[in-house]
Amino acid sequence: MHVPWILKHKPKTLSEVVGNEDAKRKIFQWVQSWSKGVPKKRALFLYGSPGTGKTVSIEALANDLEMELVQSNASDYRTAEAVERFAGRASQYGTLSGKRRLILFDELDGITGTADRGGLSVITEIVKKTCSPIVLTANNAYDPRFSTLRNYCELMEFKKFTRTQVEKHLKRICSIEGLEAEDAALKLIAERASGDVRSAVNDLQALAQGKERLTYDDVSWLASRDRKEVIFNVLRSIFYAKDSLMAKDAVDMADVDPDMLLEWIYENTPYHVKDPKELAAVMEMLALADIYRGRIASTQNWSLMRYFIDFMTAGVAASWSKKSPGWVPFKFPTRISQMSSSRAYRQMLSAIGMKVGKRCHVSSARAVKEILPYMRVIFESNHEMGAGLAKWFDLDEDMINYLAKK
């Protein structure tokens, strides 16, 4: 059974949470201060980019202090009635077990729209009079919607992790998983996670699927991307969208090239859509998207882009029942990986072609096609002549070894 590594290696204590040492220390002190009486600010508002450890820090702290954690994603509690039902009584009364209670409203950014205003106002009222510590999390605490709520909260910023911190965490996971990984590979994953440790762990698991050793070449083709939302969340939002609009909006969640996104969806469709009829319907949507992609390329009519995006997002989401048993990890596109694995081969051919073409007064493409096959025969069968050609064409050791197939 596949288990996401972000869950499998989730910190159980605050000391295991990566980075933000100052913020963790202040959170601990704030929660502990409740034992001396209700503080002036009855809620703690944690803010920072996704994947910086806001939620996991609170979960780990509750575990450390043996507190009863009452937790919810605020986007699931949008009405005043639902918020009151979730946290109203919990904020006023003790627990049956005698444990202290900690209330967590996670991802307040999810509260949007007219129907949510009542929910946000009730959260503010609960914070004003709570008898238990309340923690709120959001990417941006300074969103205008939270202007009133901020007045009653202690604000605490969670900063992005450094590349070294992320790399250290990845090494720890590799050690536990028995995965041998080159330092350069982990460094690259950490760099391109842009401080998002959750994203880095997702990338590591996806890249390590079926491998006992992870090399730099395995990750070198991984495209740099905006980590506002990782590609895995984009895919999840498309495949399991509640409606077509949500699927279309997923494209804006990350700076993902549409052509690359189509490759990701195409690669992962068979693993998530198991019913043959539904799979055929989804692949039909992708085929239509590919047709429009081709028309855009041939006509440069960019007004067709909306059809390209609609078919590969809303079309995919609407074409299947979204029933996928068990957890299925998203996989990197095989076709992109294969192209990457041949990149060094193509670069070597191009470099030799340029040197040979310059000497023979032909284009590098013609040199690769018409001259290199004969050079290979010479380098393999006549080392003395091969050495002469290598000197004349000014070939380096890698080029010589390539032609001699060493």
User: What pLDDT score was predicted for residue 224?
Assistant: 46
User: What pLDDT score was predicted for residue 230?
Assistant: 62
User: What pLDDT score was predicted for residue 158?
Assistant: 92
Q: Report residue 173's pLDDT band, with 50, 70 and 90 as the boundaries.
A: very high
- Amino acid identity, position 15: S
- What is the chain's length? 406
Query: Minimal CA–CA distance to 196: which of 49, 298, 64?
Result: 49
User: What pLDDT score was predicted for residue 92?
Assistant: 62
Alpha helices in 226-333 (DSSP H): 231-239, 244-249, 258-272, 276-299, 305-310, 316-318
User: What pLDDT score was predicted for residue 171?
Assistant: 94
Q: Report residue 225's pLDDT band, with 50, 70 and 90 as the boundaries.
A: very low
- Contact of 23 with 157, CB cutoff 8 Å: yes
Query: Minimal CA–CA distance to 400: which of 355, 363, 338?
Result: 355
- Contact of 59 with 93, CB cutoff 8 Å: no
User: What pLDDT score was predicted for residue 106?
Assistant: 84
- Contact of 366 with 349, CB cutoff 8 Å: no
Is a pLDDT exceeding 70 seen at residue 113? no
- Contact of 288 with 313, CB cutoff 8 Å: no
335: which 2 tokens? 């076709």
pTM of the predicted model, to two decimals? 0.54
77: which 2 tokens? 């509690």
What are the pLDDT digits (tens) for 123-172?
888 888 888 899 999 888 888 888 888 999 999 999 988 888 999 999 99
Is a pLDDT exceeding 70 seen at residue 340? no
Segment 65-70 shows an average pLDDT of 88
Percentage above 70 pLDDT, the chain: 82
Query: Minimal CA–CA distance to 393: which of 362, 347, 355?
Result: 355
Query: Minimal CA–CA distance to 131: which of 98, 94, 105?
Result: 94
Q: Report residue 376's pLDDT band, with 50, 70 and 90 as the boundaries.
A: confident
Helices and strands per DSSP (H, E), number in the chain: 22, 7
Distances in Å between the Cα of 404 and the Cα atoms of 329, 345, 386 are: 42, 14, 9
User: What pLDDT score was predicted for residue 170?
Assistant: 93
Please give the mean pLDDT across all residues of the chain: 82
Residue that wins the pLDDT comparison between 221 and 37:
37
Strand order in the sheet with 43-47: 68-73, 101-106, 134-138, 43-47, 153-157
Segment 85-113 shows an average pLDDT of 70
Is a pLDDT exceeding 50 seen at residue 275? yes
